Amino acid sequence: MLRLPVFFVSLLLAVALGLPASSVAGAVPGAPLHVLATTTLLASLAADVGRGRAEVTSLMPVGASPETYQPAPADMVRVQQAGLIVQNGAGLEAWLAPMLGSAAAHAPIVNCSDGLQIVAANPHLWLDPEYARHYVVAMRDGMIAADPAGAATYRANAAALDARLAGLTARIRRQLATIPPANRNMIVFHNAWLYYNARFGLRTLGAIEEVPGSEPSAEHIAQLVDLARAAHVRAIFAEPEYNANLVTAVARSAGIPHVALLYDDSVGTSPQTRDYISMLETDTATIVRGLK
């Protein structure tokens, strides 16, 4: 759980009482480590690593798009009060840098994508569950460094989560193997599935959105329609937060029979995607249904 409401209540109380930032920060002896993750997905993994020990919240609300996020003034306060910040890196949180540069922000930062091969400046490494295992190690080490007394808890939690993620990889591999090889082509709304597809032998033929947050050109759409027709693409995958009319129009022009929803930048937008693992299980089932 993200425990956002509890955090907000304590934050509002602190603001209402005019308390200095340090009075609610994680540095209070005996208080739990406050881990602030930038996205709900990172918070989902971090909550499992910190379970029973750390308080984990997400800076971005459920359903927000990390590529186009506009921080609220209250976000600055949360960054300053965090005991540990967990970010994806790989260019995802460009909006975070000015807040981290403030003199009042002093929490150590876990940059989860450090050490992984970033392809085409694409930040969506978390959608490969093997990369998520790397994220978990980075989170575990960050939490141990920020709260050494909790080392045994963080190690045990991370080991348990690592085993669940390894199991997830194996299940996804088995399910995707049921898709005939000639059908393993996706058209997506936004280009999130690069690393997942590389891991599991699928291909993203193209993305409707060229630049996150901006309308694609007519020429780009025409090229995509041609590509989809030539490859007999069976499904377009889009996210619930994006432009459904545009997706339906492209599917109709290209003769693509299925339009299906995938969840990739946020957990918690539907009951089936309450955390990282359930989100990828839901998405994998959707991909298999769409392409089979």
How many other C-beta atoms lie within 10 A of the C-beta of residue 81? 23
Helix (H) or strand (E) holding 283: helix 276-291
Segment interacting with Zn ion, rule: CB under 5 A, options 14-22, 73-81, 138-146, 262-270: 262-270
> How far apart, in Å, are the Cα atoms of 122 and each of 91, 194, 197, 198?
8, 8, 13, 13
**Comparison of 48 and 93: residue with beta carbon closer to Zn ion:** 93
Segment interacting with Zn ion, rule: CB under 5 A, options 98-106, 127-135, 154-162, 260-268: 260-268
- Report residue 249 as tokens: 């129009």
| CA neighbours closer than 13 Å in the CB half-sphere of residue 1 | 6
Residue of 46, 86, 107, 192 that binds Zn ion (CB under 5 A): 192
Name which of 50, 58, 41 is nearest 127 in CA terms.
41
280 and 129 Cβ atoms separated by less than 8 Å = yes
Find the shortest distance in angstroms from Cβ 4 to Zn ion.
Answer: 21
Per-residue contact string for residues 136-175; x = within reach of Zn ion by CB under 5 A? ----------------------------------------
- Report residue 54 as tokens: 């750390």
Hey, which bits of the chain come out as E strands?
34-37, 55-58, 84-87, 109-111, 185-188, 203-207, 235-238, 258-261
**Comparison of 75 and 265: residue with beta carbon closer to Zn ion:** 265
Q: Which of residues 68-97 bind Zn ion (CB under 5 A)?
A: none
**Comparison of 24 and 238: residue with beta carbon closer to Zn ion:** 238
240 and 93 Cβ atoms separated by less than 8 Å = no
In angstroms, rounded to a whole number, what is the distance separating the alpha carbons of residues 95 and 76? Answer: 11
**Comparison of 37 and 192: residue with beta carbon closer to Zn ion:** 192
Find the shortest distance in angstroms from Cβ 239 to Zn ion.
Answer: 8
> How far apart, in Å, are the Cα atoms of 235 and each of 178, 192, 201, 249, 251?
16, 16, 16, 13, 8
Find the shortest distance in angstroms from Cβ 123 to Zn ion.
Answer: 7
**Comparison of 68 and 272: residue with beta carbon closer to Zn ion:** 68
Segment interacting with Zn ion, rule: CB under 5 A, options 80-88, 103-111, 165-173, 191-199: 191-199
Segment interacting with Zn ion, rule: CB under 5 A, options 49-57, 69-77, 186-194, 268-276: 186-194
> How far apart, in Å, are the Cα atoms of 48 and each of 35, 55, 100, 264?
12, 11, 25, 19
29: phi then psi, degrees, rounded to nearest 5: -60, 135
48 is a site residue for Zn ion (CB under 5 A):
no
| Nearest residue to Zn ion, scored by beta-carbon proximity | 265
Segment interacting with Zn ion, rule: CB under 5 A, options 47-55, 181-189, 195-203, 257-265: 257-265
**Comparison of 192 and 236: residue with beta carbon closer to Zn ion:** 192
**By rule CB under 5 A, what count of residues binds Zn ion?**
2
**Comparison of 33 and 92: residue with beta carbon closer to Zn ion:** 92
42 is a site residue for Zn ion (CB under 5 A):
no
Residue written as token pair 């003199």: 103
265 is a site residue for Zn ion (CB under 5 A):
yes
Residue numbers of the site for Zn ion (CB under 5 A)? 192, 265
